[in-house]
Amino acid sequence: MTSKEQGVAAAVRRCAGDLIRHLDAAGGDPTIAGEEIKASIARLMTYPDLFDVGIVRPANHGESSRIIYYDPNLVMIFGVTRVGQMDPPHNHGTWLATAVYRGELRYEGYLRRDDGSRAGYAELDCVESRVMKPGDVALCGAPPNDIHITIPVVDTWALVVAGGAFSNVREYYDPQKRQRWEKSEKAA
Ligand SMILES: [Fe+2]
């Protein structure tokens, strides 16, 4: 392993260790340790060599997506999203942090207000709406409040940190029409 690879491995592992410590102290609820979690991820975003690590993640929605850290309760996925590439508001079945490494991303986060008992129906509140620049980190809580949308303003390299593997089935939402529907994570 080169010294550069050792350096980036150390940076990723230090970030993961910090996140595990913060999550443990918060009883596993990332929203309780939100500021600490964001700060730990923001520090990793200052590291210059993240392009060079990771294992290619199959069956995802974006190109060049790589898993740079994995344990059953913490996953870091690094990848690029291109201008024009966007999904409707959706969930992944786990809490989630999104951080910009290079580029610019419009981000919206939502809280789920209905109890999920009505098929095809969802009431969402948009609680976060901003343009994220390098080093910015957004955090959404555990399901059912893991709903978000990311819209790249320019081609954007971003890190997604999640509390475990993504659900095989995503829910998608139309907040205005109060509709929801499902789509397989493996679908194009
Ligand atoms: Fe997402």
3 CA from centroid of ligand 1 (Å)? 33
Collapsing DSSP to helix, strand or coil, 14 comes out as helix
What pLDDT sits at residue 59? 52
Residue 188 structure tokens: 């194009």
Alpha-carbon gap, residue 65 to 110, rounded angstroms: 24
Q: CA 91 → CA 3, 36, 119, 146, 186, distances in Å?
A: 38, 23, 16, 5, 14
Topology, domain 3-184? Jelly Rolls (2.60.120)
State if pTM tops 0.85. Answer: yes
117 CA from centroid of ligand 1 (Å)? 23
4 CA from centroid of ligand 1 (Å)? 30
Alpha-carbon gap, residue 122 to 160, rounded angstroms: 24
150 CA from centroid of ligand 1 (Å)? 7
What does pLDDT average to in each consecutive run of 10 residues of the chain (188 residues)?
87 97 96 97 95 75 80 95 90 97 97 96 98 98 96 96 92 97 72
149 CA from centroid of ligand 1 (Å)? 6
Alpha-carbon gap, residue 8 to 66, rounded angstroms: 14
90 CA from centroid of ligand 1 (Å)? 6
What pLDDT sits at residue 188? 43
Contact at 8 Å (CB) between 173 and 89? yes
Q: What is the CA radius of gyration of the chain?
A: 16
Contact at 8 Å (CB) between 122 and 176? no
74 CA from centroid of ligand 1 (Å)? 16
Q: Amino acid identity of 116?
A: G
